[in-house]
Amino acid sequence: MPLKILVGTQWGDEGKGRIVDLLSSQSDIVARFNGGDNAGHTVNVSNHTFKLHLIPSGIIHPHTLGVLGNGLVINPKSLLIEIEMLRDSGVEISPERLLISYAAHLIMPGHITLDRAKETNLGKGQIGTTGRGIGPAYTDKVSRKGLRMIDMLDLALFEERIRLHMQQVNYDLSFHYQTAPLKVEPVVSDYLEYARQLHDYIVDTGAVLDMALHEGKLVLAEGAQGMLLDIDHGSYPFVTSSNVTATGVFSGLGIGICKVENVIGATKAFQSRVGAGPFPTELDGEMATRLRGTGAKPWDEFGTTTGRPRRVGWLDGVLLRYARRVNGLTDLVLTKLDVLSGLEQIKVCTAYEDVNGEQYAIPPMGITQLDQYKPVYETLPGWQEDLTAVRQWDDLPKAAQEYIRFVEKISGVLVMLASVGPERSQVVEVPA
Ligand code: IMP
């Protein structure tokens, strides 16, 4: 039963979209298991840039079935916009090509308003969420009052449930956040229309995936965000509200534990983060601008979902080691190696040091309280050559090869592939 899992090993934006796109050429199904339209995956194919937030990027391959699992929170308006965008770009979308779990939860306009009101209320302690209503939708799920895709299948009942939900949201908005209540009728009519449009896509995706795995089909489980944003294992409270790690695949797709062929970790050659929260290897000034880019290119370090400039820093080997342990990583794909070209020296954090000078390979309490540590760096030689045209390992400069080998050494995981540009073809296979 060939299941492959792809997760981000950092704070998201590792370039998973283009790796999914690449791996999808061999996959029958690509299934998202967590998050919502807070994710942003960019894929470049023949000078066309696809920016996807919900639909798995594997859908761009004509033979691949896309699945949105029960672990997601789905904004139906964003989903329908994305379906139209893909159709306009010549990608066929129909219930033969895309399936949505009946048990996935719905993001309602009230969740988005609450997300923003909660952030405003937090003042300086803001999480820096994407403002897409993710936290409040998952809160409703856990509080057992969320609306789900299955509710869309009975319009009369759905309308009743929307009205009840709106009552609760408007109560919360006015009493807890002193925010004007939302108008009910437009939400009711919009959501009934979304229900009509999405009706045929809603199925028991867990059963479809189980059958596919038993038939020997290749399923690729695609994680959104990065594991350092995981609700249980991330840098809490500066995290998202879902399970981002590889173990979330089974509950988020509704399949039992089965043999997993690979757990692939997408790792950017340097570190980045959007939103608030500790970041031990963070850089500022000229070096940060150098790694971030100016925003002129679609793959510069600016959020796909929010457009916010990303915080950037040196690769953090401590966090990568932690990602290996929590996800059971079997392989790494190292992305954006080309961005490091032209640097005299490259630093990699190999340990943390506390105020007493004690060093840790992984801190005793995991990655909480990261702001208590100073990074300990090892400095590696850089390379000057442009890597964007390199396709073979032997054509990489020696220093770039050594950088890849160093990443393997500090993480304990072999790098299978390195990317040297945003195009589908810009990858180099790494020999073991
Ligand atoms: P939320 O998921 O919108 O609630 O945001 C919680 C935290 O996760 C914030 O720091 C966001 O910036 C971050 N976040 C959420 N989705 C992504 C993503 O796809 N890439 C990077 N950061 C993300």
Record the tokens describing residue 19, joined without a space: 């790796």
Say if residue 304 is in the same domain as residue 402.
Answer: yes
pLDDT of 115 strictly over 80: yes
Give dist(CA 229, CA 241) in Å, integer: 8
Write the CATH number for 408: 3.90.170.10
Q: What is the mean pLDDT of residues 195-206?
A: 98
- Least Cα distance to 132 among 36, 41, 239, 222 occurs for 36
**What is residue 107's DSSP assignment?**
P
Residue 38 Cβ inside 6 Å of ligand 1? The answer reads yes
Band of pLDDT at residue 297, cut at 50, 70 and 90: confident
Cα 38 to ligand 1 centre (Å): 6
Residue 225 Cβ inside 6 Å of ligand 1? The answer reads yes
Say if residue 185 is in the same domain as residue 260.
Answer: no
Say if residue 77 is in the same domain as residue 183.
Answer: no
* Residue of 53, 130, 138, 312 to test ligand 1 pocket, by largest number of atoms within 8 Å of CB: 130
Phi-psi region of 366 (alpha: psi -120 to 50; beta: other; left: phi over 0): left
Cα 216 to ligand 1 centre (Å): 34
Cα 305 to ligand 1 centre (Å): 9
CA atoms within 13 A on the CB side of 141: 22
**What is residue 295's DSSP assignment?**
S
Coil, helix or strand at residue 67: strand
Q: What is the H or E stretch that residue 260 is in?
A: strand 260-268
- C-beta separation of 110 from 166 below 8 A: yes
Give dist(CA 429, CA 432) in Å, integer: 10
Which residue lies with its CA nearest to atom 15 of ligand 1? 38
Write the CATH number for 182: 1.10.300.10
Cα 275 to ligand 1 centre (Å): 7
85: containing domain: 3-100+202-265
Q: Where are the alpha helices (DSSP H) in 134-284?
A: 134-142, 155-177, 184-198, 205-214, 248-253
Domain boundary among 265, 290, 317: 265
Domain boundary among 247, 265, 283: 265
Give me the number of domains the chain comprises.
Answer: 3
More confident residue, 35 or 19: 35
Write the CATH number for 62: 3.40.440.10
Residue 275 Cβ inside 6 Å of ligand 1? The answer reads yes
Minimum-distance ligand 1 atom for the alpha carbon of 131:
3
Say if residue 209 is in the same domain as residue 76.
Answer: yes
Say if residue 279 is in the same domain as residue 424.
Answer: yes
CA 379 to chain centre: 29
Domain boundary among 167, 199, 231: 199
How high is the pLDDT of residue 418? 98
Band of pLDDT at residue 1, cut at 50, 70 and 90: low
Average pLDDT of the residues of the chain: 95
Say if residue 313 is in the same domain as residue 254.
Answer: no
Say if residue 191 is in the same domain as residue 206.
Answer: no
Say if residue 154 is in the same domain as residue 91.
Answer: no
Q: What is the mean pLDDT of residues 194-215?
A: 97
Say if residue 425 is in the same domain as residue 279.
Answer: yes
81-94: per-residue pLDDT in tens?
Answer: 999 999 999 999 99
Tracing tokens 């952030």 back to the chain, one arrives at 119
Say if residue 43 is in the same domain as residue 76.
Answer: yes
Q: What is the mean pLDDT of residues 274-290?
A: 95
Say if residue 223 is in the same domain as residue 344.
Answer: no
- Least Cα distance to 153 among 184, 194, 107, 190 occurs for 194
More confident residue, 99 or 20: 99
- C-beta separation of 413 from 265 below 8 A: yes
Say if residue 21 is in the same domain as residue 91.
Answer: yes
